[in-house]
Structure 1
Amino acid sequence: MAQQSNPIEMNEAAAQGFRQRLSGVQSNQMNSPTPCTEWDVQALINHNINATGFAEGVYRGNVTVNPQDVSGPLPGGNGLELLDAGISNVLDALKSAGSLDQQIDTPFRPMTRGVFLIDMTWDLLVHTWDLAKGTNQDTTLDSGLVEVIYHAFVPQMDGLRQMEFQGIKPMGPEVSVPASASLQDRFIGMMGRQP
Protein backbone atom coordinates (compact mmCIF):
# COMPACT_ATOMS: atom_id res chain seq x y z
CA MET A 1 0.00 0.00 0.00
CA ALA A 2 1.35 3.40 -0.91
CA GLN A 3 1.39 6.00 1.85
CA GLN A 4 -2.12 7.38 2.15
CA SER A 5 -4.50 8.75 4.69
CA ASN A 6 -7.88 7.50 3.42
CA PRO A 7 -9.28 5.78 6.54
CA ILE A 8 -11.38 3.28 4.58
CA GLU A 9 -8.46 2.18 2.40
CA MET A 10 -6.21 2.00 5.47
CA ASN A 11 -8.71 -0.21 7.29
CA GLU A 12 -9.13 -2.44 4.25
CA ALA A 13 -5.33 -2.85 4.02
CA ALA A 14 -5.09 -3.74 7.72
CA ALA A 15 -7.98 -6.18 7.39
CA GLN A 16 -6.29 -7.88 4.45
CA GLY A 17 -3.16 -8.44 6.52
CA PHE A 18 -5.16 -9.85 9.42
CA ARG A 19 -7.17 -12.10 7.09
CA GLN A 20 -3.94 -13.48 5.64
CA ARG A 21 -2.60 -14.39 9.10
CA LEU A 22 -5.97 -15.69 10.27
CA SER A 23 -6.16 -18.06 7.32
CA GLY A 24 -2.76 -19.45 8.36
CA VAL A 25 -3.76 -20.30 11.93
CA GLN A 26 -3.78 -24.04 12.68
CA SER A 27 -6.40 -25.54 15.02
CA ASN A 28 -3.68 -26.68 17.43
CA GLN A 29 -2.47 -23.05 17.84
CA MET A 30 -5.64 -21.62 19.42
CA ASN A 31 -4.22 -21.79 22.95
CA SER A 32 -0.78 -20.49 21.95
CA PRO A 33 0.38 -17.30 23.68
CA THR A 34 0.67 -14.03 21.78
CA PRO A 35 2.69 -10.84 22.40
CA CYS A 36 -0.62 -9.34 23.56
CA THR A 37 0.04 -10.97 26.91
CA GLU A 38 -3.55 -11.00 28.18
CA TRP A 39 -4.77 -13.02 25.20
CA ASP A 40 -3.93 -16.31 23.55
CA VAL A 41 -4.54 -16.84 19.81
CA GLN A 42 -8.22 -17.72 20.33
CA ALA A 43 -8.87 -14.63 22.46
CA LEU A 44 -7.02 -12.40 20.00
CA ILE A 45 -9.17 -13.67 17.12
CA ASN A 46 -12.33 -13.21 19.20
CA HIS A 47 -11.28 -9.64 20.05
CA ASN A 48 -10.81 -8.69 16.41
CA ILE A 49 -14.13 -10.22 15.40
CA ASN A 50 -15.88 -8.49 18.32
CA ALA A 51 -14.13 -5.22 17.49
CA THR A 52 -15.99 -5.14 14.17
CA GLY A 53 -19.34 -5.43 15.98
CA PHE A 54 -18.23 -2.74 18.43
CA ALA A 55 -17.23 -0.38 15.58
CA GLU A 56 -20.49 -1.00 13.75
CA GLY A 57 -22.37 -0.15 16.96
CA VAL A 58 -20.42 3.08 17.41
CA TYR A 59 -21.28 4.15 13.86
CA ARG A 60 -24.94 3.23 14.29
CA GLY A 61 -25.14 4.84 17.76
CA ASN A 62 -26.02 1.56 19.47
CA VAL A 63 -23.04 -0.29 20.97
CA THR A 64 -24.04 -3.81 22.03
CA VAL A 65 -20.76 -5.70 21.52
CA ASN A 66 -17.91 -5.68 24.01
CA PRO A 67 -14.59 -6.01 22.13
CA GLN A 68 -12.91 -7.05 25.38
CA ASP A 69 -15.17 -10.10 25.81
CA VAL A 70 -12.86 -12.68 24.31
CA SER A 71 -13.97 -15.79 26.17
CA GLY A 72 -15.00 -19.02 24.56
CA PRO A 73 -14.60 -20.52 21.11
CA LEU A 74 -15.20 -18.61 17.90
CA PRO A 75 -18.73 -17.21 18.16
CA GLY A 76 -20.79 -19.25 15.74
CA GLY A 77 -18.45 -20.39 13.04
CA ASN A 78 -15.46 -19.81 10.84
CA GLY A 79 -13.24 -16.96 12.02
CA LEU A 80 -12.47 -15.71 8.53
CA GLU A 81 -16.15 -15.60 7.57
CA LEU A 82 -17.05 -13.85 10.82
CA LEU A 83 -14.28 -11.28 10.35
CA ASP A 84 -15.27 -10.59 6.74
CA ALA A 85 -18.94 -10.20 7.67
CA GLY A 86 -18.02 -7.87 10.53
CA ILE A 87 -15.79 -5.70 8.36
CA SER A 88 -18.49 -5.50 5.71
CA ASN A 89 -21.03 -4.42 8.35
CA VAL A 90 -18.65 -1.73 9.65
CA LEU A 91 -18.10 -0.30 6.18
CA ASP A 92 -21.85 -0.41 5.43
CA ALA A 93 -22.57 1.46 8.67
CA LEU A 94 -19.80 3.95 7.94
CA LYS A 95 -20.97 4.65 4.39
CA SER A 96 -24.66 4.92 5.28
CA ALA A 97 -24.59 7.52 8.00
CA GLY A 98 -22.59 10.58 7.06
CA SER A 99 -19.16 11.77 6.05
CA LEU A 100 -15.82 10.75 7.51
CA ASP A 101 -15.54 14.28 8.96
CA GLN A 102 -18.76 13.99 10.98
CA GLN A 103 -18.21 14.17 14.76
CA ILE A 104 -19.46 11.20 16.79
CA ASP A 105 -19.40 10.18 20.43
CA THR A 106 -17.33 7.08 21.14
CA PRO A 107 -16.63 5.28 24.42
CA PHE A 108 -13.12 6.78 24.25
CA ARG A 109 -13.77 10.43 23.40
CA PRO A 110 -15.60 12.50 20.77
CA MET A 111 -13.90 12.24 17.37
CA THR A 112 -14.69 12.16 13.69
CA ARG A 113 -15.95 8.99 12.06
CA GLY A 114 -12.70 8.83 10.07
CA VAL A 115 -10.48 9.16 13.14
CA PHE A 116 -12.44 6.40 14.88
CA LEU A 117 -11.85 4.10 11.90
CA ILE A 118 -8.12 4.91 12.05
CA ASP A 119 -8.18 4.01 15.77
CA MET A 120 -9.73 0.66 14.86
CA THR A 121 -7.12 0.27 12.12
CA TRP A 122 -4.08 0.62 14.40
CA ASP A 123 -5.64 -1.92 16.75
CA LEU A 124 -6.12 -4.36 13.87
CA LEU A 125 -2.61 -3.68 12.56
CA VAL A 126 -0.83 -4.36 15.85
CA HIS A 127 -2.96 -7.46 16.43
CA THR A 128 -2.01 -8.69 12.96
CA TRP A 129 1.59 -8.68 14.17
CA ASP A 130 0.53 -10.33 17.45
CA LEU A 131 -1.31 -13.09 15.58
CA ALA A 132 1.58 -13.67 13.19
CA LYS A 133 4.08 -13.82 16.04
CA GLY A 134 1.89 -16.11 18.14
CA THR A 135 1.41 -18.55 15.25
CA ASN A 136 4.93 -18.45 13.78
CA GLN A 137 3.89 -16.67 10.59
CA ASP A 138 5.50 -13.81 8.67
CA THR A 139 5.33 -10.71 10.89
CA THR A 140 6.03 -8.25 8.07
CA LEU A 141 3.30 -5.61 8.01
CA ASP A 142 2.24 -3.35 5.13
CA SER A 143 5.05 -0.76 5.22
CA GLY A 144 2.94 2.11 3.88
CA LEU A 145 0.25 1.48 6.46
CA VAL A 146 2.82 1.22 9.25
CA GLU A 147 4.29 4.56 8.16
CA VAL A 148 0.95 6.37 8.20
CA ILE A 149 -0.20 4.86 11.50
CA TYR A 150 3.16 5.35 13.22
CA HIS A 151 3.38 9.04 12.33
CA ALA A 152 -0.28 9.62 13.20
CA PHE A 153 0.06 8.08 16.65
CA VAL A 154 3.52 9.17 17.85
CA PRO A 155 2.19 12.55 19.07
CA GLN A 156 -0.74 10.89 20.87
CA MET A 157 1.03 8.07 22.68
CA ASP A 158 1.43 9.71 26.10
CA GLY A 159 -2.31 10.34 26.28
CA LEU A 160 -3.19 6.93 24.89
CA ARG A 161 -1.03 5.20 27.48
CA GLN A 162 -3.12 6.86 30.22
CA MET A 163 -6.44 5.90 28.64
CA GLU A 164 -8.50 3.00 29.99
CA PHE A 165 -11.35 1.16 28.32
CA GLN A 166 -13.47 -1.05 30.55
CA GLY A 167 -10.68 -1.15 33.12
CA ILE A 168 -8.03 -2.16 30.60
CA LYS A 169 -5.19 0.01 29.34
CA PRO A 170 -4.89 -0.75 25.62
CA MET A 171 -1.30 0.49 25.52
CA GLY A 172 1.53 -1.00 27.51
CA PRO A 173 4.77 0.82 28.25
CA GLU A 174 6.88 1.52 25.20
CA VAL A 175 9.62 -1.01 24.47
CA SER A 176 12.89 0.71 23.56
CA VAL A 177 14.37 -0.17 20.21
CA PRO A 178 17.58 1.12 18.64
CA ALA A 179 17.34 4.38 16.71
CA SER A 180 18.47 2.43 13.66
CA ALA A 181 15.51 0.00 13.95
CA SER A 182 13.08 -0.33 11.07
CA LEU A 183 9.91 1.74 11.16
CA GLN A 184 7.92 -1.44 11.78
CA ASP A 185 10.08 -2.30 14.79
CA ARG A 186 9.67 1.25 16.13
CA PHE A 187 5.89 0.93 15.66
CA ILE A 188 5.81 -2.44 17.43
CA GLY A 189 7.98 -1.08 20.27
CA MET A 190 5.77 2.01 20.54
CA MET A 191 2.80 -0.34 20.96
CA GLY A 192 4.49 -2.05 23.90
CA ARG A 193 5.82 -5.15 22.17
CA GLN A 194 9.33 -6.51 21.78
CA PRO A 195 9.99 -6.66 18.02
Structure 2
Amino acid sequence: MTGTANTLVLLDIAIEEFARRLRLVGPGDWRRPTPCTEWDVRALVNHVVGANVRYQLLLHGAQPDQIEATRSVDHLGDDALASFVATAGRMVACFHEDGALERVAHHVIGDRTGSELVSMRILDAAVHAWDLARAIGADETLNDDVVAFLLAYSLDLELGPQGHAFATTYADVSRNASPQDQLLHRLGRHPNTEEIR
Protein backbone atom coordinates (compact mmCIF):
# COMPACT_ATOMS: atom_id res chain seq x y z
CA MET A 1 0.00 0.00 0.00
CA THR A 2 1.44 3.37 -0.99
CA GLY A 3 1.65 6.30 1.40
CA THR A 4 -1.12 8.13 -0.43
CA ALA A 5 -3.37 5.08 -0.46
CA ASN A 6 -2.67 4.64 3.23
CA THR A 7 -3.76 8.17 4.09
CA LEU A 8 -7.00 7.69 2.16
CA VAL A 9 -7.65 4.53 4.19
CA LEU A 10 -6.93 6.48 7.37
CA LEU A 11 -9.35 9.17 6.22
CA ASP A 12 -12.08 6.54 5.94
CA ILE A 13 -11.24 5.30 9.44
CA ALA A 14 -11.27 8.82 10.90
CA ILE A 15 -14.64 9.51 9.31
CA GLU A 16 -16.02 6.32 10.84
CA GLU A 17 -14.56 7.31 14.22
CA PHE A 18 -16.68 10.46 14.11
CA ALA A 19 -19.78 8.72 12.72
CA ARG A 20 -19.60 6.09 15.48
CA ARG A 21 -19.93 8.78 18.16
CA LEU A 22 -22.49 10.78 16.20
CA ARG A 23 -24.78 7.73 16.11
CA LEU A 24 -24.86 7.87 19.92
CA VAL A 25 -25.96 11.50 20.24
CA GLY A 26 -29.40 11.65 21.81
CA PRO A 27 -32.00 14.44 21.80
CA GLY A 28 -30.74 15.75 25.14
CA ASP A 29 -27.08 15.88 24.07
CA TRP A 30 -27.05 18.68 21.52
CA ARG A 31 -26.50 21.52 24.02
CA ARG A 32 -23.83 19.71 26.04
CA PRO A 33 -20.46 21.52 26.30
CA THR A 34 -17.46 20.13 24.42
CA PRO A 35 -13.67 20.44 24.85
CA CYS A 36 -13.88 23.16 22.18
CA THR A 37 -15.15 25.79 24.60
CA GLU A 38 -16.89 27.94 22.00
CA TRP A 39 -18.94 25.00 20.69
CA ASP A 40 -21.66 22.85 22.17
CA VAL A 41 -22.30 19.41 20.63
CA ARG A 42 -24.49 20.77 17.87
CA ALA A 43 -21.96 23.45 16.90
CA LEU A 44 -19.13 20.90 16.96
CA VAL A 45 -21.02 18.52 14.68
CA ASN A 46 -21.99 21.40 12.40
CA HIS A 47 -18.31 22.36 12.15
CA VAL A 48 -17.31 18.84 11.12
CA VAL A 49 -20.13 18.50 8.58
CA GLY A 50 -19.34 21.97 7.27
CA ALA A 51 -15.70 20.99 6.91
CA ASN A 52 -16.77 18.11 4.68
CA VAL A 53 -18.41 20.71 2.46
CA ARG A 54 -15.43 23.07 2.63
CA TYR A 55 -12.98 20.39 1.55
CA GLN A 56 -15.10 19.62 -1.50
CA LEU A 57 -14.97 23.30 -2.41
CA LEU A 58 -11.22 23.44 -1.80
CA LEU A 59 -10.58 20.49 -4.07
CA HIS A 60 -12.66 22.10 -6.80
CA GLY A 61 -10.81 25.41 -6.78
CA ALA A 62 -13.02 27.65 -4.65
CA GLN A 63 -11.54 30.85 -3.27
CA PRO A 64 -11.06 31.41 0.49
CA ASP A 65 -13.92 33.92 0.82
CA GLN A 66 -16.35 31.49 -0.81
CA ILE A 67 -15.19 28.73 1.53
CA GLU A 68 -15.29 30.89 4.66
CA ALA A 69 -18.89 31.88 3.89
CA THR A 70 -19.92 28.28 4.64
CA ARG A 71 -18.95 28.67 8.30
CA SER A 72 -22.16 30.54 9.12
CA VAL A 73 -24.42 27.92 7.48
CA ASP A 74 -26.45 25.29 9.34
CA HIS A 75 -25.28 22.09 7.64
CA LEU A 76 -27.20 19.65 9.83
CA GLY A 77 -30.83 20.13 8.91
CA ASP A 78 -33.22 17.67 10.54
CA ASP A 79 -30.86 14.67 10.42
CA ALA A 80 -27.29 15.37 11.49
CA LEU A 81 -26.10 11.81 10.91
CA ALA A 82 -27.51 11.68 7.38
CA SER A 83 -25.93 15.06 6.64
CA PHE A 84 -22.57 13.89 7.93
CA VAL A 85 -22.65 10.62 5.99
CA ALA A 86 -23.71 12.31 2.74
CA THR A 87 -21.18 15.13 2.90
CA ALA A 88 -18.37 12.80 4.00
CA GLY A 89 -19.11 10.48 1.08
CA ARG A 90 -18.97 13.33 -1.41
CA MET A 91 -15.76 14.66 0.14
CA VAL A 92 -14.02 11.28 -0.02
CA ALA A 93 -15.10 10.93 -3.66
CA CYS A 94 -13.43 14.28 -4.39
CA PHE A 95 -10.14 13.02 -2.95
CA HIS A 96 -10.35 10.00 -5.27
CA GLU A 97 -10.76 12.09 -8.44
CA ASP A 98 -7.92 11.93 -10.94
CA GLY A 99 -5.20 14.37 -9.93
CA ALA A 100 -6.98 15.50 -6.77
CA LEU A 101 -4.04 14.85 -4.48
CA GLU A 102 -1.69 16.93 -6.64
CA ARG A 103 -4.03 19.91 -6.99
CA VAL A 104 -3.21 23.09 -5.08
CA ALA A 105 -6.11 24.42 -3.05
CA HIS A 106 -6.43 27.92 -1.59
CA HIS A 107 -6.97 27.21 2.10
CA VAL A 108 -7.41 30.12 4.51
CA ILE A 109 -4.08 29.23 6.19
CA GLY A 110 -2.27 29.06 2.85
CA ASP A 111 -2.09 27.00 -0.31
CA ARG A 112 -2.17 23.25 0.30
CA THR A 113 -1.99 20.24 -2.01
CA GLY A 114 -4.79 17.73 -2.02
CA SER A 115 -2.47 15.30 -0.28
CA GLU A 116 -1.91 17.80 2.53
CA LEU A 117 -5.66 18.33 2.79
CA VAL A 118 -6.17 14.60 3.39
CA SER A 119 -3.90 14.77 6.44
CA MET A 120 -5.67 17.89 7.70
CA ARG A 121 -9.04 16.18 7.33
CA ILE A 122 -7.87 13.08 9.21
CA LEU A 123 -6.79 15.32 12.08
CA ASP A 124 -10.05 17.25 12.18
CA ALA A 125 -12.36 14.23 12.00
CA ALA A 126 -10.45 12.08 14.48
CA VAL A 127 -9.80 14.67 17.16
CA HIS A 128 -13.33 16.00 16.99
CA ALA A 129 -14.51 12.39 17.33
CA TRP A 130 -12.70 12.41 20.67
CA ASP A 131 -14.26 15.77 21.55
CA LEU A 132 -17.71 14.40 20.77
CA ALA A 133 -17.08 11.25 22.78
CA ARG A 134 -15.94 13.33 25.76
CA ALA A 135 -19.01 15.56 25.50
CA ILE A 136 -21.55 12.71 25.48
CA GLY A 137 -19.72 10.24 27.72
CA ALA A 138 -18.96 7.71 24.97
CA ASP A 139 -15.87 5.56 24.37
CA GLU A 140 -12.96 7.94 23.77
CA THR A 141 -10.51 5.42 22.28
CA LEU A 142 -9.29 6.36 18.80
CA ASN A 143 -7.93 3.98 16.18
CA ASP A 144 -4.26 3.15 16.84
CA ASP A 145 -3.16 3.66 13.23
CA VAL A 146 -4.87 7.05 13.07
CA VAL A 147 -3.25 8.11 16.35
CA ALA A 148 0.21 7.00 15.17
CA PHE A 149 -0.20 8.90 11.91
CA LEU A 150 -1.41 12.05 13.66
CA LEU A 151 1.38 11.96 16.22
CA ALA A 152 3.92 12.09 13.40
CA TYR A 153 1.91 14.59 11.35
CA SER A 154 1.26 17.01 14.21
CA LEU A 155 4.95 17.34 15.08
CA ASP A 156 5.37 19.84 12.24
CA LEU A 157 2.09 21.69 12.65
CA GLU A 158 1.96 25.33 13.60
CA LEU A 159 -1.26 25.60 15.58
CA GLY A 160 -1.64 29.30 16.11
CA PRO A 161 -4.75 31.44 16.68
CA GLN A 162 -6.27 30.35 13.34
CA GLY A 163 -6.26 26.79 14.65
CA HIS A 164 -8.59 27.69 17.54
CA ALA A 165 -10.09 24.21 17.68
CA PHE A 166 -6.61 22.80 18.22
CA ALA A 167 -5.07 25.22 20.73
CA THR A 168 -1.71 23.87 21.68
CA THR A 169 -0.70 23.32 25.26
CA TYR A 170 2.75 22.19 26.17
CA ALA A 171 1.93 20.97 29.65
CA ASP A 172 4.20 18.24 30.89
CA VAL A 173 3.07 14.86 29.63
CA SER A 174 4.35 11.70 31.25
CA ARG A 175 6.82 9.74 29.15
CA ASN A 176 4.62 6.76 29.97
CA ALA A 177 1.53 8.42 28.49
CA SER A 178 -0.21 6.48 25.76
CA PRO A 179 0.24 7.68 22.16
CA GLN A 180 -3.37 8.88 22.17
CA ASP A 181 -2.84 10.90 25.35
CA GLN A 182 0.35 12.40 23.91
CA LEU A 183 -1.56 13.44 20.80
CA LEU A 184 -4.46 14.91 22.74
CA HIS A 185 -2.18 16.92 25.01
CA ARG A 186 -0.35 18.22 21.95
CA LEU A 187 -3.69 19.45 20.61
CA GLY A 188 -4.78 21.16 23.81
CA ARG A 189 -6.97 18.39 25.22
CA HIS A 190 -7.00 17.07 28.79
CA PRO A 191 -7.67 13.34 28.44
CA ASN A 192 -6.87 12.35 32.02
CA THR A 193 -9.41 14.62 33.69
CA GLU A 194 -13.18 14.59 33.85
CA GLU A 195 -13.45 18.21 32.83
CA ILE A 196 -14.76 19.55 29.55
CA ARG A 197 -12.44 22.37 28.52
- TM-score, normalised relative to structure 1: 0.85
Count of aligned pairs: 186
Q: Where does structure 2 lack aligned partners over 5 or more consecutive residues?
A: 192-197
Task: Tell me the secondary structure at the aligned position of residue 166 of structure 2.
Answer: coil
Tell me which residue corresponds to 1:14.
14
Tell me which residue corresponds to 1:183.
179
- Is it true that 1:104 corresponds to 2:105 in the alignment? yes
Percent sequence identity over aligned pairs: 25
Deviations 1:141-171 (A, max 9, x none): 0011100111111132xxx22252xxx6343
**After superposition, where does 1:22-41 map in structure 2 within 5 Å?**
22-41=22-41
8 Å Cα contact 1:19/1:80 also seen in 2: yes
Task: Give the CA deviation at 1:172.
Answer: 1.3
Tell me which residue corresponds to 1:49.
49
Task: Tell me the secondary structure at the aligned position of residue 16 of structure 1.
Answer: helix
Deviations 1:17-60 (A, max 9, x none): 10000001111011001111111111111101101000000001
- Is it true that 1:142 corresponds to 2:158 in the alignment? no
- Is it true that 1:69 corresponds to 2:65 in the alignment? no
Deviations 1:107-154 (A, max 9, x none): 222222011111011011110000000000000000111001111111
Tell me which residue corresponds to 2:116.
115
Farther-moved stretch of structure 1 (81-90 vs 169-178): 169-178
Q: What is the distance in 1 between the residues matched to 2:31 and 2:70?
A: 17
- In the superposition, relative to structure 1, how do residues 24 and 43 fare at CA in structure 2: closer, same or farther (>3 Å)? same
CA RMSD, Structure 1 to Structure 2 (Å): 2.3
Task: Tell me the secondary structure at the aligned position of residue 20 of structure 2.
Answer: helix
Task: Give the CA deviation at 1:179.
Answer: 1.4
- In the superposition, relative to structure 1, how do residues 47 and 120 fare at CA in structure 2: closer, same or farther (>3 Å)? same
8 Å Cα contact 2:94/2:100 also seen in 1: no
Tell me which residue corresponds to 1:162.
160
Tell me which residue corresponds to 1:173.
168
Q: Where does structure 1 lack aligned partners over 5 or more consecutive residues?
A: none
8 Å Cα contact 1:47/1:67 also seen in 2: no
Q: What is the distance in 2 between the residues matched to 1:61 and 1:176?
A: 41
Deviations 1:58-94 (A, max 9, x none): 001125454883676x632211111111111112222
Task: Tell me the secondary structure at the aligned position of residue 28 of structure 2.
Answer: helix
